[in-house]
Amino acid sequence: MDTSPLPPSAFKTPSVLLSGPVDYDMYRDFRRQFEQASQDLVVVELSTLGGDPEVARMMGEDIRYHSEMSPDRRFVFLGKAAIYSAGTTFMSFFARGNRYLTRGTRLMIHERKLSKELTINGPLTTCIATVKATLHEIEASIAIQNEGFENLIRGSQVSMEEVLQRAPSNWYVEAEEAKSLGLIEAVL
């Protein structure tokens, strides 16, 4: 897979332009534009304050799948202004050498959030099953979150321990810092 540095001119006309919340509307827009992209270099430009992490994973899986199925094509990420939360998750699916940010862009890395009320009501064995089901949901969500963190930091100077320490309090990383940490290839 080609991950040699690209000149700024390579980003003049991105194949896919996305902005706003990462949600099912963005996914439909992403798929429409992505399917129309016929170039060997496919630049996906994004600006987002975050959204649904599962939608980000769906878009990311499309990138991963097409990268593996079409090794002659290059899929590149360009983040503009704000790449928060689910946007960072999406970026993590691009090879580290295919991640670019514009000057002043901020990444925001944080833990997934859960808002849920647990009601315990009924026979005791049912109560145990309800509690275990919620615990399993939390454990699975942590595993998925950590897979995303591992994708993000692969090939960088950032350790998993550092991410796990900083993510609970929303870790903001400016573009130049992201480059110096090895999270991205370059700042445009």
Q: What is the pLDDT of residues 164-185, one digit of tens each?
A: 999 999 999 999 999 999 999 9
Which candidate, 62, 82, 76, 64, places its Cα nearest to that of 21? 82
Which element (helix H / strand E) includes 164?
Answer: helix 160-166
Tell me if 2 is assigned to some domain.
no
Structure tokens at 182: 């090895």
Please count the structural domains in the chain: 1
Query: H-helix or E-strand containing 109?
Result: strand 106-109
Q: Which residues pair with 47 in a beta bridge?
A: 19
pLDDT digits (tens, 9 = 90+) for 115-153: 999 999 999 989 999 999 999 999 999 999 999 999 999
Q: What is the CATH number of the domain that holds 23?
A: 3.90.226.10
Residue 172 domain flag = yes
pTM of the model: 0.95
Domain, as residue range, for 177:
8-187
Residue 51 belongs to some domain of the structure: yes
Look at residue 1 and tell me if it is in a domain. Answer: no
In-domain check, residue 176:
yes
Which residues, at least 6 apart from 105, have a Cβ–Cβ distance to it below 8 Å? 79, 80, 81, 82, 83, 174, 175, 187
Q: Which of these, 52, 35, 43, lies nearest to 87 by C-alpha position?
A: 52
Q: Average of pLDDT values for 31-41? A: 96
Asked whether residue 79 is assigned to any structural domain, the reply reads yes
